[in-house]
Structure 1
Amino acid sequence: MPELPEVETSRRGITPHIQDKVFKHIIVRKSQLRWPIPDTLSTVLPGLKLDQVDRRGKYLLLSTAQGTLILHLGMSGNLRITQPDQAIHKHDHIDFIFADDTVLRFNDQRRFGAVLWTEKPIQEHALLINLGPEPLSEEFDANYLLARCQNRRAPIKNLIMDSQVVVGVGNIYASESLFLAGIHPNRQAGDVELATCQRLVAAIKTVLQSAIDQGGTTLRDFLNAQGKPGYFQQSLSVYGRNGQACLKCAEPIQQLKIGQRSSYFCDSCQR
């Protein structure tokens, strides 16, 4: 499933090709994704200039003077920059075509993604209004995390994967961050101290930035705007390495279900 680094990689990939260009028309081949694609897009988008391509959590925000397109890649979605005459692939559901014939093509095999439109202030949208801070922002620091941990009995891994606490720390990146910080994923959030939060915040920022720099993680479906995979999976320390030797101490990596998600950790290095 595309997480924050994959979505940010997509944002960076598509922005130079489409920002400041004018929408000419759209082609919708499959209107039913996670939610129906708004019928109004075919009439409201043509003639509008795309002013900005932003990201909030795992949502891509394509802003115009009249409103904002909200794109979500769901479980298997990807965006490609192409031309109108290039072959249509299976699961290519939507084409956003610009005045110079550049095409932003949305592909989603499982159709859990979303294409929505709002003319209201984007920060007030129901999908975004309750999101926590961006993990790479200054707002996400040790004092903030400590305050959110206090009196919480949930495992620390579940807490940092809660999008109302901090956005974009998916399962892979939570496991990798906790390993880097030396924190057991099942440790009760309410038991952590400020020093622990300092290590964890630093680890989350390091892991996510490294993943962005390497183009995200490709375990199944993710491709960037050029149709290429991300390479962070080659740097994974614990995720998916059950039974293999820990890169720090050589003890076997263990796997545990926490909150219905597979968690990978070293019982020797993480406390």
Structure 2
Amino acid sequence: MPELPEVETVRRGLVPAMEGATITAAEVRRPDLRWPLPERMAERLTGQRVTRLGRRSKYLLADLASGETLIVHLGMSGRILISGAMPGAFHHSHAARDKHDHVVLEMSSGARITFNDARRFGAMDLWPTEAIETHWLLSSLGPEPLGNAFNEDYLAARLKGRMTPVKSALLDQRVVAGLGNIYVCEALFRAQVSPRRKAGNIAEKRLRALVPVIRDVLTDAIAAGGSSLRDYRQTSGELGYFQHTFRVYGREGAPCPTPGCPGTIARIVQSGRSTFFCPKCQR
């Protein structure tokens, strides 16, 4: 599942093609993805100018001049690709339509935006922009980890007294939005905090230190274009490269990369997900 860095990478790739441009034609090639698509979706999109392209957690948000916002979730296998001529950017000719190209947007910028999703675990919806935070996918989300609302005081207060493992607590989208399995593993390693430790039993000083570490991990991942595991691609079709700098994720049995640590990266399962960590230096 693409996490915050992957979705932010896609957003940044789409901005030159979509932001300020008009959707001259919209083609919706099936009635549903993971859930039914909005009624009259093609009609409601055609002719609309994209006033802003944003992101909330793992969701892309395209604000339209009509006062609606197009919400896009990539799911497990969704990809958004840009083709066509775009001044000052990469150029890709329009490929032949694929059977998994479910939504296609022709933009006044000269770009074609294609949403391709082989397994159809992605989602799209249209919702009033002024009430976007009330949408059922967004209403319970916690603060953005790269925003000002996610700070040391907030995290310490939010995790105080919680008896769930700290990794599970950080994966709770109500606590902080957008974090997923990969980047929580990497952040806990950098902070030398065991993923098995109860969130409420971590010393406040160490808990506070997690905030800048989480931000650094996400910033590094965005700069690398995200992590290409299985289906994820950037809008240009290129792979992300952060997976080449993983310190623990997917490295079970490898020596701990911490200088002087004799530990070996271990793998356990927490809440049905693989957790990678060093039992020696993560306490």
Given that 1:61 and 1:69 are in contact with CA atoms closer than 8 Å, whether structure 2 keeps it comes out as: yes
**What is the aligned partner in structure 1 of residue 150 from structure 2?**
140
Residue identity matched to 2:74? L
Residue identity matched to 1:102? A
Matches for 1:213-224 after TM superposition, within 5 Å: 213-224=223-234
Name the SS of the counterpart of 1:54 in structure 2.
strand
Name the SS of the counterpart of 1:176 in structure 2.
helix
Q: Distance in 2 between matches of 1:105 and 1:244?
A: 39
Matches for 1:203-214 after TM superposition, within 5 Å: 203-214=213-224
User: For this pair of structures, how many residues does the alignment match?
Assistant: 271
Given that 2:18 and 2:109 are in contact with CA atoms closer than 8 Å, whether structure 1 keeps it comes out as: no
Given that 2:72 and 2:124 are in contact with CA atoms closer than 8 Å, whether structure 1 keeps it comes out as: yes
Given that 1:75 and 1:113 are in contact with CA atoms closer than 8 Å, whether structure 2 keeps it comes out as: yes
Q: Distance in 2 between matches of 1:134 and 1:95?
A: 29
Given that 2:17 and 2:109 are in contact with CA atoms closer than 8 Å, whether structure 1 keeps it comes out as: no
Deviations 1:106-162 (A, max 9, x none): 011211101111125212212111110000112111111111111211000000111
**What is the aligned partner in structure 1 of residue 104 from structure 2?**
95
Shift, 1:29, TM fit: 2.1
Given that 1:31 and 1:93 are in contact with CA atoms closer than 8 Å, whether structure 2 keeps it comes out as: no
Name the SS of the counterpart of 2:25 in structure 1.
strand
Shift, 1:101, TM fit: 4.2
Shift, 1:98, TM fit: 1.8
TM-score when normalising by structure 2: 0.92
Identify unmatched segments of 5+ residues in structure 2: 85-92
Residue identity matched to 2:267? Q
The percentage of counterpart residues that share the same residue type is 44
Given that 1:145 and 1:197 are in contact with CA atoms closer than 8 Å, whether structure 2 keeps it comes out as: yes
Q: Distance in 2 between matches of 1:89 and 1:239?
A: 33
Q: Distance in 1 between matches of 2:42 and 2:183?
A: 37
Distance 1:85 1:240, change over 3 A: closer
TM-score when normalising by structure 1: 0.96
Name the SS of the counterpart of 2:71 in structure 1.
strand
Residue identity matched to 1:230? G
Distance 1:212 1:100, change over 3 A: closer
**What is the aligned partner in structure 2 of residue 9 from structure 1?**
9
After TM superposition, where is structure 1 displaced by more than 3 Å over at least 4 residues in a row?
Answer: none
Q: Once superposed, what is the RMSD of the aligned Cα atoms?
A: 1.3
**What is the aligned partner in structure 2 of residue 86 from structure 1?**
95
